[in-house]
Amino acid sequence: MSKLPENISLVEITSSEWSEQAKYELLRSALQDLGFRKSSSFRGVPQKWIMEFWLSSEPGIFATIFDPHSKDRGVHSGVGVIKRDGSIIVFENTEECGLQHRQPDRWPHCGLVEPSALLERALRERHLGDADVLDVLTCVRVYEQAVNEDLEWRRKNGFSIEEIRNVLARMKKKGLLAKSLPPLG
């Protein structure tokens, strides 16, 4: 818990280095093919991750390319929905993390799927009467607020034994931990 920041801030940057340039290029091309247009890049502070926001002409829909600069997650994309009540849901093409997330905001891990599958899920989630065409400032403000509220919720609630087991099993499977770990609890 001591490594969790109090807050994150998304600070606009003019250039960025992607940890997996080839994967970034594939995601960039896929988002362009889906009609998204690149908006701005940001650094998560105090973390070192970077993300780009991509806008859509579809009400309530946006996309991101995210680089946590970690071996565990790598460059990935997300397609999100922002509702008028300020809640957010971002469908990510990542494997399940094993952690709970604060409601009503959600970050479903959809597995290693193409951005088109993420867009399909976002369009099914969106209700046209509950969404506006988004600008980058709205996306950044709502995303930043959702992450900070999730951090506050996590600091208050901690991690359950089940969550810790899930994360350790996931790390072990990916070869990030020794094959044999002592049992928890």
Q: Is residue 20 assigned to a domain? A: yes
Whether 40 contacts 49, CB under 8 Å: no
Cα-based angle 179, 182, 185 (whole degrees, multiple of 5): 135
Tell me whether residue 127 is in a domain: yes
Task: Please give the sequence-ordered ranges of beta strands (E in DSSP) within the chain, or none if there are none.
Answer: 9-13, 37-45, 50-55, 61-67, 76-82, 88-92
Domain annotation covers residue 178:
no
**Is residue 3 one of the residues assigned to a domain?**
no
* Residue pair 167/184 in contact by the 8 Å Cβ criterion: no
**pLDDT at residue number 15:** 87
- Asked whether the predicted pLDDT for residue 46 surpasses 60, the reply is yes
| Residue, of 165 and 180, whose pLDDT is higher | 165
Which tens digits make up the pLDDT trace of 53-89?
999 999 999 999 999 877 667 899 999 999 988 889 9
Does 167 reside within a domain? yes
List of residues 6+ apart from 30 with CB closer than 8 A: 77, 114, 115, 116
Quote the CA–CA distance of 67 and 92 in Å, as a whole number.
12
* Cβ-based neighbours of 61, under 8 Å, separated by 6 or more: 79, 80, 81, 119, 122, 123, 126, 131, 134
Which pLDDT score, from 0 to 100, does residue 183 have?
Answer: 59
Nearest to 64 by CA among 89, 97, 99, 100: 89
23 lies in some domain:
yes
Number of separate domains in the chain: 1
Asked if residue 1 belongs to a domain, the reply is no
pLDDT tops 60 at residue 25: yes
Percent of the chain with pLDDT over 90: 53
Q: How large is the average pLDDT for residues 88-92? A: 94
Domain holding 14, by residue range, is 9-173
